[in-house]
Chain A
Amino acid sequence: MKILSIALNTFRENLRDKLLYNLLVFALLMIGSSVLLSRLTLGEFHRLILDLGLGSINFFGVLIAIFVGIGLVSKEIEKKTIYTIVSKPVARYQFLLGKYLGLTFTLFVNTVVMALGLLLVLYAQDVPVEGMLFKALALIFVEFMVITAVALLFSTFTSATLSAIFTLAMYVIGHLTADLKTFGAKMDDLSRGILNGIYYLLPNLERFNLKGHVVHHLEISGSDLMLIVVYGATYTAFLLFTASLIFHRRDFR
């Protein structure tokens, strides 16, 4: 209950920050591109609209997850508002979880509205909508959940600027971890062990990327999809757990 009220408060705070204005940019981008690009391109116009739509939903969401996520805790500490919460009978992990759920809910609303916008454009342009689109959107949201957790974790022990840098770095690395494994395979046992260790520790964000499947009508088995979602959830849980541990020991000065 305490978690929920903190979450709701975080969501309200996000709304007050005019966070959802990014939807306006998204709408303009979608309408503009569907009108303009249909004249510029040759051949598969459908894929252009789908790529652009899914790409911007993903991009805007990641930006929000990173740049709002890093402020979740550090802003409270800076403004000293954290004292009023910590002094109440609220466990620190509850505070952290509430903050996390609040931003996740904001991202959820944001993603749903953008997805509706994309569906509208697809409908207007007579692009057939397949189930794969919703699977891809679901995994994009799972990626947001992981990134938000990463941002939250960093924001429990460093400043906002540093967390932004770290989280961005994690995002970039998360899309490149597959290479770690490939490099490792070419090295000696010790290096391979180290690289594999890093590989398993870092999130493999490329797993959440089904944007290509939508465009090329590729399928993914239900069990694979489930496994990816569980992977995302577990990784998020791991990050939140670590964040709680760190936050629990933290002194506010």
Chain B
Amino acid sequence: MAVSISYTQHRSAPILSQVLLGMGGFLLLACLGWLQGELDLRQDRTVVQIEGLAQLPKGEYLKPALLGYHHLGADILWLRLIQVIGKKRNSADEYEWMYHALDVLTTLDPQYAYAYYAGGVILGDLANRPDLSIRLLEKGVSANPEVWNIPFLLGYNYYFLLGDPAKGAEYIMKAASLPDRPNYLPGLATRMAAEAGNPDTALAFLEARLRETQDPEMREVLAYRMKEVIIERDLPVLENAVEAYRTQHRSLPAALGDLVAVGALSILPEEPFGGDYQLDPKTGAVSSSTHPERLRTFFKRKKLPAYSFPKVEPSYSFPRTWE
């Protein structure tokens, strides 16, 4: 009897108690969500997330701790890293931390060729830290002697960022001898070795880089550099024409247009940034209206590498001048 009573009680209660239980459960869940959100708001700032990269243990210690799952570890680190790189601007410190993270990542998985290349591009071109970029890429070359785009990027770094065409050409030659390299590479390599420092060679090199790059931000950087080199290619042509005009007419032309009119120049080159080339009527010097300052040599960037503490001494001393 007692059993049947408790049974009916159990049956008669359910709707109300179930609603109450459901509400209680929902309330607890909502509380959890709110608490989690509040904690996120208080404690997680992007700064903390990026600093996390700096606090990564060295790859040599992290690798054994992953018990054979170090490739997966490298993937997770890569995923975290590219979320940070996705930021529009990174401070100098942040690039150092990125280098550290890339170093750890490539120790976990030394064959992660894409990470070397992408990391080399970011550190070299975006961070303006050729020392760190080269250090990472050289680690990549020794671990992956068969991958062509790592020495290719090294060549680029030496040629454009450090102003050492000879060493740059050496790496491009190395890249050109590796399997799966693009067909234009051997041509570029011989050309670089023969006439390193020639603006047309530099333009061909930049074009090669542009072909290997999908990232829009990087493409912008490369396109800008190409335009700078175009100016450096055009200015000597114009100045030579002015010189020819002066010897012929014993006076300077009034405007650059006159050069075409007298046949010293077949066509007036366009200024790539949309400005124009201007003639100094007193000296006869030609300059660009958008980029009045000359690059010392066309492949050399005006900015000095952005060193900051703790400074990583490059294995290579620079600036090295190239005659």
A residues lining the B interface (CB < 8 Å):
37, 40-44, 47-48, 51-52, 55, 58-59, 171-172, 175-176, 179, 205-206, 209, 211-212, 215-216, 218
CA–CA, A209 to B115, complex, Å? 22
Q: Say yes or no for B174: interface residue by CB 8 A criterion.
A: no
Closest CB-CB distance, A228 to chain B, in whole Å? Answer: 14
Can you offer 24 A-B residue contacts whose CB atoms are under 8 A? Answer: A40-B79, A41-B79, A42-B82, A43-B78, A43-B115, A43-B118, A48-B75, A48-B79, A52-B75, A55-B71, A58-B68, A58-B69, A59-B69, A171-B67, A175-B64, A175-B67, A175-B68, A205-B68, A206-B68, A209-B68, A211-B69, A212-B109, A212-B111, A216-B111
- We find that the number of chain B residues with CB closer than 8 angstroms to chain A is 17
Asked whether A41 lies within 8 Å of B71 as measured between CB atoms, the reply is no
- Which residues of A sit under 8 angstroms from B111, Cβ to Cβ? 212, 215-216, 218
Asked whether A51 lies within 8 Å of B118 as measured between CB atoms, the reply is no
- Please report whether the interface of chain A is mostly helix, strand, loop or mixed according to DSSP: helix
Q: Say yes or no for B30: interface residue by CB 8 A criterion.
A: no
Partner of A179, one of B64, B72, B109: B64
Closest CB-CB distance, B42 to chain A, in whole Å? Answer: 26
Closest CB-CB distance, B105 to chain A, in whole Å? Answer: 12
Asked whether B75 lies within 8 Å of A172 as measured between CB atoms, the reply is no
Asked whether B64 lies within 8 Å of A51 as measured between CB atoms, the reply is no
Asked whether A176 lies within 8 Å of B79 as measured between CB atoms, the reply is no
A43 in contact with B67 given A51-B72, A52-B72, A52-B75 (CB within 8 Å): no
Asked whether A215 lies within 8 Å of B79 as measured between CB atoms, the reply is no
B residues lining the A interface (CB < 8 Å):
64, 67-72, 75, 78-79, 82-83, 109, 111, 114-115, 118
- Which residues of A sit under 8 angstroms from B118, Cβ to Cβ? 42-43
Closest CB-CB distance, A41 to chain B, in whole Å? Answer: 6
Asked whether B82 lies within 8 Å of A55 as measured between CB atoms, the reply is no
- Which residues of B sit under 8 angstroms from A172, Cβ to Cβ? 67
- For A43, A48, A171, the residue with the greatest tally of chain B CB atoms inside 10 Å of its CB is A43
Q: Which residue in chain B gives the minimum CB-CB distance to A44?
A: B114
Q: Which residue in chain B gives the minimum CB-CB distance to A208?
A: B68
- Which residues of B sit under 8 angstroms from A218, Cβ to Cβ? 111
Q: Which residue in chain B gives the minimum CB-CB distance to A50?
A: B71
CA–CA, A44 to B114, complex, Å? 7
